[in-house]
A and B are shown apart, each in its own frame.
Chain A
């Protein structure tokens, strides 16, 4: 069933067929879709989910999952906005953003490391570990913020999302740069190869001497980093961190990654696919908004597409009629 050439590539990456269909559909439906400014918009809007999806792809190829990304994002955002108000940094002017952002990334990295370490040392399934973390970290956010929103008083920070380099929004650039970097990490480096190996056949990876535990921790750290980074997009857009920030992001992110063809059981997937999944979601939200469909239809369509892609993937990978029917 495996074909080479463009057709084979599309069979293995059916998401890009969807991207093309969605693209053509909306381009024909409304004039406002096929427009450079709108494409920029889509990139900025998707950069949040997109960044997390990059890290999630690594974790899921590893055969793990991280449900705590939304909560991580919220905690990191609260820490940042809070830290900018600390008296220590009061005289730093715009430089106060720097320690705040570093602190934010550190928070994400720390939570990722914690999740990864628990998965490694206890042997508890990542689904359960991060399910617990998702609840617990969200609880931390609520307790930490006392259920209040924090507002950034530094406008350089909150105006960041309007900034651009050579006409391309900074946030879009950040997203694209990290997409390329993660793609290279996954497809060209030893760490990337090991990521596939661990998810594909963990026993073989152990036998081959790959240090599976620390390896998985690294990928959890990466997704924690991206979750914290993605919070920048959100909290700069809003100039505030609400305790509910990033809620259900894990669902959007996992949807994007699975749409992009990453296998839940691990061992298969790609950043190119994930990028397609992220774009599909972004274009769908944007396009449906432009043609005036109420936002909640997007949820219905998205859920349906997710299940349909799964179905399609199953059909395309069948071994024909001679397959054993279990």
Chain B
């Protein structure tokens, strides 16, 4: 772990009169898995969407890899985005493309890159998630767990330094959830990536976290390791772990 690759200061976001984020301060170190725990609708997903520039924040500063993204140009933001992977809650696979085309898509702006290099990247990413046989399948032929794995494989294509996981285990059975959690750990070890994992699945948080923060009403109310938070003096925080 060497230096913050994500630094968020006083982040605020409202939708109309509905205040979602009320001044979030957060940092993530290289190679660290940070779990953001909170109730549904507490602003966890908005937080990572602000982080990657999908939602514009109202106030505060966001720095990725030491560079503020608040007032940078579009091409600079895109260059930063190529260093960040994002696994969507629904996996967000392009349903008109095969698995191979899905995986190749993020590489299309990278030049020069040969077909052989693309093939080996696809094979490596699929091997990392254990789905080498699915290369020519359409997303509609995949189960929920497989879609999440392919989504993760797609984020690995650009060899990101930071991966944002939006509810990676939501909608999956306990066994598949555990497999996805283990996969998150494998990716962290293999590629030395930092991750922000948005979840309300305590088992996923236990398995994947190096450090955790708890969000309530748009602010961070607790920070610590899984064990520390599960023994928190705050009853509301403790209630997550029961």
Report if A and B associate in a common complex.
Answer: no
